[in-house]
A and B are shown apart, each in its own frame.
Chain A
Amino acid sequence: MNQLLEVKNINAGYTGRMVLKNISLSARAGELIGIIGPNGSGKSTLIRAMSRTLKPEGGEILLDGRDIYAISPLESARSIAVVPQDTLIAFEFLVRDIVMMGRIPHMRRFSRENASDLAAVEKAMELTETKNLSGRLINELSAGERQRVIIAKALAQEPRLLMLDEPTSHLDIGHQADIFDLVRRQCDRGSLSTIAVLHDLNLASEYCDRVLLLNNGLLIANGTPSEVINKKNIEEIYKAGIAVDKSPQSAKPHVFLVPKTRDM
């Protein structure tokens, strides 16, 4: 099976401090992969390394078998889109202008938006249910609306690989479900692969095909949610008392917090 993205033995970090140590992973077309791990385990750094914002020191990252640092930034942006945790925008852009910026990697410098650009924007806004926000100002939206617009921008990029860095950490459970239902559907169509950093273990378990567990910059486990999210792994790495049971709906593992202060 051909791999869309292959990460081979990368180290990455900041001056004097390596955050990621010898990480390898791969993503196939249509896969939804979750990255979990405690605070400071290197989840966001991994996203930054794979999205060319932080160049790894050693190892390689291959997109369709080619080193992503050997292809042009615009070319890789036509394949990879990223949604950060939160985007604060200082200027009063209209929502449709923001979504249209997703077309930058596809457009020539001074060309006007053509039919395929407009179609991609239209489709992205339909999928994210942001069409009704089209004429609003980005900095007047609620956090949930804004994040949907940023996801629309990423989808307008028509990427084959979407990277999400805790995209729903500011959102309520309904909006979380909306966004992951959407991502899941796109992946099931086979048109998109997604790598998402997730804080919420149950969200990861419910939606992801595969879960990677990071701790102190090391990859501890890589497998299906049932293989990775178990009492032993989670208690050991998160240092929290937990119980794991199965969701009555999906039979996927769900994590329950067990407070230490009270006898249960």
Chain B
Amino acid sequence: MTGKKSINTFLFAAAIFAAAAALNFFSGPVPLSRDIIALRLIRLSMAVTAGAGLAVCGTVFQALLRNPLAEPYILGVSSGAGFGAIACAVFFGGAVFLPIPAFIGALITIFAVYYLSRSGGRTPIHSLLLTGIVINVIFSSFILFLISTATTSVLHDATWWLLGNLQIFDTRLLAFISVLTVCGGLVSFFYSRELNAISLGEEEAIHLGIKTEQVKSILFLVTSIVTAALVSACGLIGFVGLIVPHISRALSGPDHRKLIPTAAAFGATFMLISDAISRTIMLPAELPVGVITAFLGGPFFLILLKRSQRLKSK
């Protein structure tokens, strides 16, 4: 890409991002007061962090698993977090700050999946996937069990958390998650060329001089921890980690040196718009943002799938 063209592309992306941020900031039923501005800014920052973070984690997962259907929740991080949060809500009521038990639950899942799937110094992708999916099922059954025994108010809290919500109130939580996400994004970007090589296959990457097992372990742990933090704070925001990497790949090509920044920018923009819609479409009620991302993302994914099927049959 020539210098001028890439600057133009960058300016264009920046303009769309700014427009989405403005849309997100100004949309809402109440006039802007001091407190509302503070809340909006926290929410806007959370949307940017969650959108960019989930998109980058999804991109990395798809490359590591060499599976375009992979997404950040596939290895059970989300159900681990869900179990942590809901168990706490059931046993201690609303008194506990839910993101903390959720984060602990997610971390336990990550390390369980990682250690159970390792054998002889290697982490084979198929055993990682299988272990992740089984852990996911186990924790989901725990969640269903807890929900079936829960009272109505706990049930409402738990469901609301599960559906995904970007409004957090604690700036320390926001700072923690943002720092973690930025670090995770930088680590992923640092390993761009390793991800390119691993997209061809693990042995092919070794032949190109990549320390495949080491890179896989680092990236799996880093992106899982970022996902854990995001899920703990915002609940289950679906489809962003699956769809955004696909659209970004169509925009920038599969080279991770371009793909990772593109996915981050596109994920943030997508989340800002989804959040603006979720706050205003059913006034005075507010929809969980996860409903909007899935509602927009689902059909889009089907169109993408159909298109690629047509390409293949040609």
Contact = CB atoms under 8 A, between A and B. Distances in A.
Interface stretch (A94-102, A211-219, A252-260): A94-102
B254 A93 contact: yes
B210 A84 contact: no
Interface of B: 63, 66-68, 120, 190, 193, 196-197, 199-201, 203-204, 206-211, 249, 253-255, 257, 311
A48 B211 CA distance: 15
A157 B68 contact: no
B209 A72 contact: yes
Of A73, A91, A140, chain B has the most CB atoms within 10 Å of the CB of A91
A104 interface: yes
Contacts of B254: 91-93, 97
Contacts of B203: 48, 53, 82, 84
Contacts of B190: 109
Nearest to A105: B209
B96 to A, nearest CB: 42
A117 B199 CA distance: 21
Given A84-B203, A101-B197, A90 B208 contact: no
A84 B257 CA distance: 26
B211 A73 contact: yes
A81 B208 CA distance: 7
The main secondary structure of chain A at its interface with chain B is loop
A4 B92 CA distance: 69
Interface string A203-237: 00000000000000000000000000000000000
B1 to A, nearest CB: 11
Given A98-B200, A101-B197, A104-B193, A92 B249 contact: yes
Contacts, number: 75
B26 to A, nearest CB: 38
B253 A97 contact: yes
Nearest to B207: A82
Contact of B201 (A77, A87, A94): A87
Contacts of A15: 120
Contacts of B253: 92-94, 97
A177 interface: no
A101 B209 CA distance: 11
A52 interface: yes
B199 A87 contact: no
B208 A101 contact: yes
A89 interface: yes
B255 A109 contact: no
B117 to A, nearest CB: 16
A39 to B, nearest CB: 20
B199 A74 contact: no
Nearest to A55: B121
Nearest to A89: B200
3 shortest interchain CB distances as A-B pairs = A77-B209, A74-B209, A91-B254
Interface in A39-94: 48, 51-53, 72-78, 80-82, 84, 87-94
A61 to B, nearest CB: 14
Contact of B208 (A75, A89, A105): A105
A75 B208 CA distance: 10
A119 B197 CA distance: 21
Q: Which of B203, B206, B208 has the most CB of A within 10 A?
A: B208
A206 B193 CA distance: 39
Given A72-B209, A88-B201, A94-B253, 5 more contacts: A77-B207, A77-B208, A84-B201, A87-B204, A110-B257
A80 B207 CA distance: 8
